[in-house]
Amino acid sequence: MSDLFAPAGPSPHAPLAELLRPQTLDEVIGQSHLLGEGKPLRLAFQSGKPHSMILWGPPGVGKTTLARLTARAFGCEFIALSAVLSGVKDIRDAMEQAKQHLALNRSTLLFIDEIHRFNKSQQDALLPHVESGLFTFIGATTENPSFEVNSALLSRAQVYVLKALSDAELRSLFARARQQALGEMTLDDLALDVLIGYADGDARRFLNLLEQCKTAASASSVQHVDAHFIENALTLNVRRFDKGGDHFYDQISALHKSVRGSHPDAALYWLTRMLDGGADPRYLARRIIRMAWEDIGLADPRAMQIANDAALTYERLGSPEGELALGQAVIYLAVAAKSNAGYKAYNAARAFVKGDKSREVPVHLRNAPTQLMKELGYGHEYRYAHDEPNAYAAGETYLPDDMTEPVWYQPVPRGLEIQIGEKLAQLKNWDEEAGK
């Protein structure tokens, strides 16, 4: 079976990212929280005994590299599978290889890239072999393993969270690339800043951009590269953004919390960040409408209207013009008075009904379209509110007879709900007076 990540040295024509792949732990740039002195992964390497682990982090931060270094550090045979490309046959072949290694008194490290792509059955198939010690298992994933990896497999592996590389770490990577592979090409500071910005913490992406830059410079007989050259010669894609992954939901969460926290600039940042990353504006419009109902509610009913109008505006104008409406909507929502009283009341009512018995509708509230129903008392003694003083039937009851007043909705002292609270208090006073 072919090894996708064979430890043999890269060919002279290999991509720059492969040419510069670290050969020792000390050559790894980034992940100092795991690889620094006294840190978890460093200690694991020093222990002398490998253990199964899951490496969770964004693309291009060294997951594959760490797996290969682990195999090398402990003298393990290295078998690599991609969960995207591998099927049942590949898994079986890997098991057979591991058994052959064991017969020769050689240990095996099985690396599965994108482990979250394996289904439950495929993940379960690994369990007995992990437990038996047939191989040490390392899984790499860009998705939250709490949701994407079976709990049984998760309990048998240590999870290490890898971080995107900082700008300073990418600069260190550039220094290494310049020393080993860039020849006479030089970059000015602004050009380097552009490449670092578009790399977005992804070392592999940064080196690929650097390699594209070198190729373009060579073809144009340019030795010194500036930002203008990069903008013209390279196709610079949008930032790292996985529409279905953790980055997506983390950023949605940040947008929602910025609106809830009444910070318009932060709300705009996360909105535009997501739009820049390729998020569907229609999805963002739906989430903005949800924010209006959940976090503003009746404290400012205009917020719902503005959110709905922004969504309709986007449908009419499309991108990029319609995105302005979404931007202004999140500004309004961020500065609007906040209330989750209606949201809480609705959830409380749902929870009550779900756990409660079926209660009869009081007779005086029942409809009476037929003579028989009238004779049975349906609707009898019902008080028509519009015929009462202040259009309010003071002392009337509207809940089932055996149910106490739950008081689910409690307006907050902000925005329009100040007036709503005052009105409810007045109605309560009238009820109390009617009961005397």
Residue type present at position 290: R
Q: If you compute the radius of gyration of the chain from its CA atoms, what whole number of angstroms results?
A: 31
Report if residue 68 sits inside a domain. yes
225 and 252 share one domain: no
3-state per-residue secondary structure call for 375-387: HCCCCCCCCCHHH
Q: What is the CATH number of the domain that holds 256?
A: 1.20.272.10
Encode pLDDT of 108-134 as tens digits: 999 999 998 888 888 888 888 888 889
Nearest to 139 by CA among 168, 109, 102, 97: 109
Q: What is the CATH number of the domain that holds 197?
A: 1.10.8.60
Tokens of 44: 């694991």
> How are strands ordered across the β-sheet holding 136-141?
77-82, 108-113, 136-141, 53-56, 158-161
Domain boundary among 185, 204, 233: 233
Structurally, how many domains does the chain consist of?
A: 4
Give the whole-angstrom CA distance, residue 327 versus residue 170.
32
176 and 64 share one domain: no
155 and 192 share one domain: no
86 and 154 share one domain: yes
pLDDT of residue 78: 94
Give the whole-angstrom CA distance, residue 206 versus residue 173.
9
189: number of Cβ within 10 Å:
10
Encode pLDDT of 131-167 as tens digits: 888 999 999 998 888 888 888 888 889 999 999 999 9
Encode pLDDT of 25-57 as tens digits: 999 999 999 999 999 999 999 988 899 999 999
pLDDT of residue 119: 86
pLDDT of residue 322: 93
Report if residue 357 sits inside a domain. yes
Give the whole-angstrom CA distance, residue 257 versus residue 119.
33
267 and 287 share one domain: yes
**Coil, strand or helix at 110:** strand
- Phi, psi angles (nearest 5°) of residue 53: -150, 160
Domain boundary among 175, 200, 233: 233
109 and 61 share one domain: yes
Q: What pLDDT tens digit does each residue of the chain (436 aa) get?
A: 444 444 445 555 678 888 899 999 999 999 999 999 999 999 999 988 899 999 999 889 999 999 999 999 999 999 999 988 887 788 889 989 999 999 999 999 999 999 988 888 888 888 888 888 899 999 999 888 888 888 888 888 999 999 999 999 999 999 999 888 888 888 888 889 888 888 888 999 999 999 988 888 888 888 888 888 888 877 665 555 555 455 777 889 999 999 999 999 999 999 998 898 888 899 999 999 999 999 999 999 999 999 999 999 999 999 889 999 999 999 999 999 999 999 999 999 999 999 988 888 888 888 877 777 776 777 777 888 888 888 888 888 888 888 888 999 999 999 999 999 999 999 889 888 887 4
Q: What is the CATH number of the domain that holds 429?
A: 1.10.3710
301 and 326 share one domain: yes
Give the whole-angstrom CA distance, residue 436 versus residue 433.
5
User: 309 is in which domain, residue-wise?
Assistant: 246-335
Domain boundary among 285, 306, 335: 335
148 and 196 share one domain: no
Report if residue 3 sits inside a domain. no
Report if residue 363 sits inside a domain. yes
Report if residue 205 sits inside a domain. yes
pLDDT of residue 129: 87
pLDDT of residue 122: 85
171 and 157 share one domain: no
Which pTM does this prediction carry?
Answer: 0.66
- Cβ–Cβ < 8 Å for 7, 72: yes
133 and 259 share one domain: no
151 and 219 share one domain: no
